[in-house]
Every structure is written in C-alpha cells, then in structure tokens.
Amino acid sequence: MEKLVIEGGRPLTGTVRIHGAKNAALPILAACIMAKGMHRIQNVPDLLDIHVMLDILRSLGCQAELSNGTVTINTALMQSSHIPEHLMRQMRSSIFLMGPLLARFGEVHVYQPGGCAIGERKINLHLLGLEALGAVVEENGNRIVCTAPVLTGNDIFLDFPSVGATENIMMAAAMAEGVTMIHNAAREPEIQDLQNFLNAMGANIYGAGTDTITIKGVSRLSPVTYTVIPDRIVTGTLMIAAAATRGSVTLENTNSSHLTSAIHALRRAGVQITIDGDIIHVSCHGRPRAVERIVTSPHPAFPTDLQSQVMVLLSLADGLSTIKETIFEGRFKHVDELARMGADIRIDQSYAYIRGVPRLYGATVEATDLRAGAALVIAGLAARGITVVEQIHHIDRGYDRIEEMLGRLGAGITRVSSAAGAPTWSAGGAAGKLVSEA
C-alpha cells in the first residue's frame, strides 16, 4: 500500500499547469466507440480511472494507448458489447458506455458500476432515458441488458439534472432516428465538452450548458482529433491549497468561467484571486475569513467535488462557517479525519458547522474517497508537523501524480511504498519520489 507523507507548514509558491479534466475525458473516450477508426484525444490525465476505461475499451476489442497526455484509440475492430463485471466494479464512469454501445451495436451488457462510496448513486435516470429512446432494459440482480435495434428520438425530462444521465442520453441520441430534447439537463462544463466532441465527429447537438439540450440524430460519425478541457476540480483544489497554506500560486491552462461560484466563495473568505485569460493567480497571506453559508448544488452553483477541500480552508478561518451538502448524503466522511488533526466541525444531517481553529496538527489519516483524500492532503500541507495520508488509491483516481504537482509548488510531500516492509521516508523529500525499505 502506498501513502503520502507530508511535512506541513510550507506556503505553496510557484506556477503549475492544470491537466485535462477526468470528468470530461471519460465520456469522450466512451463516445469514441461510436465512430469506427482511429481517434486521438489530447490533454488526457494519467489517472487510475482513465486506465480502467482504456482496459474496458480493450476488452471490447479496441486498441487503446495513453502516451504523453494523448490517447490513441482504434475502434475499427470492436466486436463485443459486453463489459466485464470486474472492470465495471472499479469505476462508476463505466456506465457511460451504455449509450455508445447501444448506438453502435443495438445492445449492451453491463453490471452495476462501482466508484467512490459517497452516498446513493442510482443509475435509474440513465436507464429511464435509454428506455425513452426505445431501449428494452432487463435487470437480473446486478446485471443489466439493454437492447435497441433502432433508437428513436424523444422528449426526455430528467427528475434531477444528472451529469451522467445527461451524457449517456446525449451519446445514444446522437445516432438515433429523429430529434431528442433533454429537459432539466445538467449544465456542467464537461457536458459542453462532450457536445463539442460529438459535433466534431459529425453529430448535430446544441444547448449544452443550458437546461435544454437538443440532439438531431445522424446516421454516421467519423473519428477525430480532439483536446479535452482543463480540470476545474483540480484547479479549485490547488486554489484552496494555496489559500490554506497562505501561499501565492499561479495556475496555467485554466478556465475561470467553469469556477465562478468557487471563486466567489474563496473571495468571500479573503483569498486574493486575479484572472488573466487562462491564467489564475491565487494568494492569501493572512488568516482566511469565515463564510456564513456555502451550499453545494448542480452547476453553476458551488460544486460538491470541492466541498471537502473548502471545508479545510474554513477549518482555519476566523469565525463560524456553514456548508450544506445537497448532492451526496455520504460526503462528510472526511470530517472525522479532519477532527484527528484538530478541526472543530459539527455535522447535523446535511449541514456542517465549522468553527475555525488557529492551526491544524499532523496526524495519520485515511482517504475515504477521491475528494476527501484531496482535502486531507490540503490539511496536511497547512498543518504543523507530519501528516500521513493512507488509502491514496482514491486520490489517484482524480489527480495526476498529486505529489509531483504539489512538489513543483514547494510542498514537502513524498509518496511512500511500504509493500516490502516498514516504510522509510524523508518528509521533505523530492516530490514524486517513491521510497521503500528493500
């Protein structure tokens, strides 16, 4: 098992480039199977979830490789529409393949997906949307079989603006007969990126970024070269890390319009933020201020994927802050771990009440999910003493070598392998260096 060992108390300083968005890349990689031939997807992060998706594509008969941020996928020889259960259990985003496989083969065999344990995440909206396009869905235990020799456009109303359901329906409808309109659609930037990718392949889709998306079905799509948008959650994570450590950081390859609510919240906390094109500069040289109320909600509101990270900043703020989590009921699991480090946080159902403390202290903590892990890393960077973050495979699902990225900003952070025995490390060691006892 690997761990991150962090020597806290160093303000982050310097410049780092933001890698591509995992949550944009995954549905785009899935959509590649809708067009036979060779695709080149650029600005793809080297993450565990990306490798799982590539493994799934290979299991379906694709040739798929990731090298230097570019994925090449040859979909010409695909023969299977049956996704292995052991791969689906590794990643929730594997559900994105249902729409593309239906569009290409008229059938798909999948299983209930896995992913982070952050609360109930049903796929009923995905299935209802595909049924509205003419698919027949059969469920047998955790196995799901969808068949649709012909997909037909329809008006679809989502009970909740689910990102995944919106994207799955978009992909299936892109090659359906007739027109599909998705009402109460999710509005996230990753959906706009998927629309742009599908249109580059020859689809006819408009409205992404609003609550109504219109898809006019086409009979054929063609392979393309495409560049994925920068990761807004990684951007936000580093902005918060800079503020929590009272540092001064410049972030390149960003899109500030994707983070309007988060930037507003950070400015309310006293963080200085300046924006120049795709460059964001963040600094915070004093104790942050408490923020009376932050509410997570679908885009463009404050993202749930930054809730645990901003909680760390507010744990160090002057005063009492409140966060309401409206998306995932299981997204406060990091609170107990932060309490080990001295945070003063009280949970009451969907509310977190955070009373700022002067400082946090290093401790051994466990990442319970992807974003909770990122929050604990930030806490370790800001804390006094040494912090050890365990179960970091969760973090590797969404951050491309987080220790190297933070190391370029002067963090004292090292990845440690203890597989061969008791670990040894240098807490202020070189970023990204693996250290183990032989």
DSSP SS3 for 412: strand
Indicate the residue among 227, 258, 282 that finishes a domain: 227
**Number of separate helices (H) and strands (E) present in the chain:** 13, 24
Number of domains in the chain: 2
Task: Say if strands 107-111 and 70-74 run parallel, antiparallel, or are unpaired.
Answer: unpaired
88 and 201 both lie in a single domain:
yes
pTM recorded for the entire structure: 0.91
101 and 44 both lie in a single domain:
yes
196 and 340 both lie in a single domain:
no
Q: Do the Cβ atoms of 335 and 346 come closer than 8 Å? A: no
Q: What pLDDT score does 432 carry?
A: 35
Task: Say if strands 63-67 and 143-147 run parallel, antiparallel, or are unpaired.
Answer: unpaired
Q: Tell me how many degrees the CA angle 368-249-305 measures, rounded to the nearest 5.
A: 30
Domain with residue 49: its CATH number is 3.65.10.10
Q: What pLDDT score does 338 carry?
A: 97
82 and 218 both lie in a single domain:
yes
Q: What pLDDT score does 426 carry?
A: 38
146 and 187 both lie in a single domain:
yes
Residue numbers in the chain where pLDDT is lower than 50: 115-121, 420-438
- Phi and psi at 126, nearest 5°, equal -60, -50
98 and 163 both lie in a single domain:
yes
Q: What pLDDT score does 53 carry?
A: 92
- Phi and psi at 387, nearest 5°, equal -115, 135
151 and 300 both lie in a single domain:
no
Q: What pLDDT score does 427 carry?
A: 37
120 and 245 both lie in a single domain:
no
Render pLDDT for 85-107 as a digit per residue (tens, 0 to 9): 888 877 767 788 899 999 999 99
Q: What pLDDT score does 118 carry?
A: 38
Is 116 one of the catalytic residues? yes
Closest CA to 247 of 85, 53, 406, 73: 406
Indicate the residue among 227, 259, 289 that finishes a domain: 227
Catalytic residue among 32, 116, 146, 284, which? 116
Write out the two tokens for 354. Answer: 């955070």
Write out the two tokens for 261. Answer: 């609510």
Q: What pLDDT score does 200 carry?
A: 98
243 and 217 both lie in a single domain:
no
Q: Rg of the chain over CA atoms, in angstroms?
A: 22
327 and 429 both lie in a single domain:
yes
- Write the DSSP symbol of residue 175: T
417 and 287 both lie in a single domain:
yes
186 and 319 both lie in a single domain:
no
Indicate the residue among 227, 245, 271 that finishes a domain: 227
Range of the domain at 120: 22-227
Q: Do the Cβ atoms of 243 and 288 come closer than 8 Å? A: yes
Closest CA to 359 of 246, 210, 230, 224: 246
How many whole angstroms separate alpha carbon 129 and alpha carbon 23?
20
Q: Tell me how many degrees the CA angle 161-280-190 measures, rounded to the nearest 5.
A: 25
Q: What pLDDT score does 112 carry?
A: 76
